[in-house]
Amino acid sequence: MSPPKSWSFGILFLGFSLLFLYRNPSPSPEEMAEEVPSSIYDITVKDIRGNDVSLSTYRGKVLLIVNVASKCGFTNSNYKEMNALYEKNKDKGFEILAFPCNQFGGQEPGSNEEIQETVCTRFKAEFPIFDKIEVNGREASPLFKYLKSQKGGFLGDRIKWNFTKFLVDKDGKVVERYAPTTSPLKIENDIQKLLEAS
């Protein structure tokens, strides 16, 4: 009897994670010494069109921050479920912030214009899409350095793959980090609790 599909996905994901860790060792002392912002609201990012966006814009909102890719095995299911979450909760003070990243298997190779076209046309995403970034290494986005400093992951702080998710409360506190294999809809209860908190 063949193993369940979910097991096969899990084993494949673990194999990729271990390979990535082998090829991308722990941060150097120089990387560790780099200053990490003291608050998520101190960080400014660029949107997909290259405009500066201060994350203080999102003060008072619950955020799901995700590193995304257009050509990953997790892409279709994640975009479908993130769209459902966003549609249901966007008027309650919830935002999804999606950051394209090409560091994992070269699965986000396009330009910002191509990414925007794919995400909006093929995946029908209505939540904000930002500039393509790196999430690990010396060139990692200050936002993802901050997120990793607040919530480490399995086998260290590094982002292991596309669709790692960080949940941030209304005060800007990073309350949870979810593996790429975690379905966005399985996070819904955690989101609802934060939305209902005063």
Would you say residue 17 has pLDDT above 60? no
pLDDT band at 120 (very low <50, low <70, confident <90, very high): confident
Catalytic residue among 14, 21, 53, 72: 72
Examine the pLDDT at 20 and tell me if it is beyond 70: no
Indicate the domain borders of the chain: 27-196
- 100-128 mean pLDDT: 93
**What fold, for 27-196?**
Glutaredoxin (3.40.30)
pLDDT reading at 129 higher than 70: yes
pLDDT digits (tens, 9 = 90+) for 27-83: 544 444 456 778 999 999 999 999 999 999 999 999 999 999 999 999 999 999 999
Going from the C-alpha of 131 to that of each of 32, 99, 113, 181, the distances in angstroms are 24, 6, 10, 23
Residue 120 annotated as catalytic? no
* Res. 189: pLDDT tops 50: yes
